[in-house]
Structure 1
Amino acid sequence: MGKLTTHILDTAHGKPAAGVAIELHGIAVGARLLLVRAQTNADGRCDAPLLADYKLQPGIYELDFHIGNYFAGLGVATQQPRFLDVITIRIGISDASAHTHVPLLVSPYGYSTYRGS
């Protein structure tokens, strides 16, 4: 069965981003339903897939990465309001039997993502 995973790399400090809160929402007919709350470990990954097996279905999902709190916790001074606070990435999953991996490369003023493996 398939799974949805993520990891976060802090490109400003050259290390995995530990302790970042992540929320996963399912999107259906305009409604946004919270499915999972997780936090990254010392390796910048979640200890378990966000969704796996029968819980992962084809559809639209949004990942909310609470990155502003992460950088504030490191003592990074940023302007207020923060340029990046919560990064939301909307993805579509068409094959629920596949492994979908969503890496986030982030600094206080920019980010990128891609479909990983």
Structure 2
Amino acid sequence: MSASRLQQLKGHILPENKTTSMAGSPSPLTTHVLNTAMGVPGSNMPLSLHRQDPSTDAWNLITMGTTNNDGRCPGLITKPLFTPGVYKVRFETGQYWASIGESSFYPYVEIVFSINDPGQKYHVPLLLSRFSYSTYRGS
């Protein structure tokens, strides 16, 4: 891949698209998307955060956002809203790949996880290629 193509991938997001609905708030939950196939951050990827209702198992939308130039989406949730429960982050990977002129096997990725101690910091990264992904609990 050429240096100019890598530079294009690193900066294909406009500054006004760097925010989430809670941007600027310190978040106990963070994420970071890395395009491991190309060695660049997964910038300009739409995502959403949901909490499962324990009485109905339905998913309730908390916020939506877009990753910034570094593949991060600050301000996902505020500390007062971050309570014990089951959460998921849905990454719109198909839209991301299409935005850089590629196709993908996965139209979206949902990472579901449990929060038992909301006083801790949780980091949920997504390592992504067109045909695979992985995640882990980071720090």
Kept in 2, the 8 Å contact 1:5–1:100? The answer is yes
Match of 1:107 in 2: 129
The number of aligned residues is 112
Match of residue 76, structure 2, among 50, 53, 78? 50
What do you get for the CA RMSD once the two structures are aligned? 1.4
Q: Which has the larger radius of gyration?
A: 2
What are the Cα deviations for residues 57-100 of structure 1, in whole angstroms up to 9, with x where unaligned? 01000110001111111111x3xxx5201101101000100100
1:15 has 2:37 as partner: no
Match of 1:59 in 2: 85
TM-score after normalising by structure 2: 0.77
Shift, 1:2, TM fit: 6.8
Match of 1:72 in 2: 98
- State percent identity of aligned pairs: 40
Of Structure 1 and Structure 2, the greater strand share is in 1
Kept in 2, the 8 Å contact 1:36–1:50? The answer is yes
C-alpha distance in structure 1 between counterparts of 2:45 and 2:110, whole Å: 13
User: Runs of 5+ in structure 1 lacking a partner?
Assistant: none
1:34 has 2:61 as partner: yes
Match of residue 117, structure 2, among 73, 92, 95? 95
What are the Cα deviations for residues 14-67 of structure 1, in whole angstroms up to 9, with x where unaligned? 010100001011101311111100110000001x23113111001000110001
C-alpha distance in structure 2 between counterparts of 1:13 and 1:58, whole Å: 36
Which contiguous aligned blocks of 4+ residues in structure 1 show a shift greater than 4 angstroms? Answer: none
Kept in 2, the 8 Å contact 1:2–1:97? The answer is no
Q: Residue type matched to 2:101 in 1?
A: G
CA spacing shift, 1:105–1:32, aligned 2, 3 Å? same
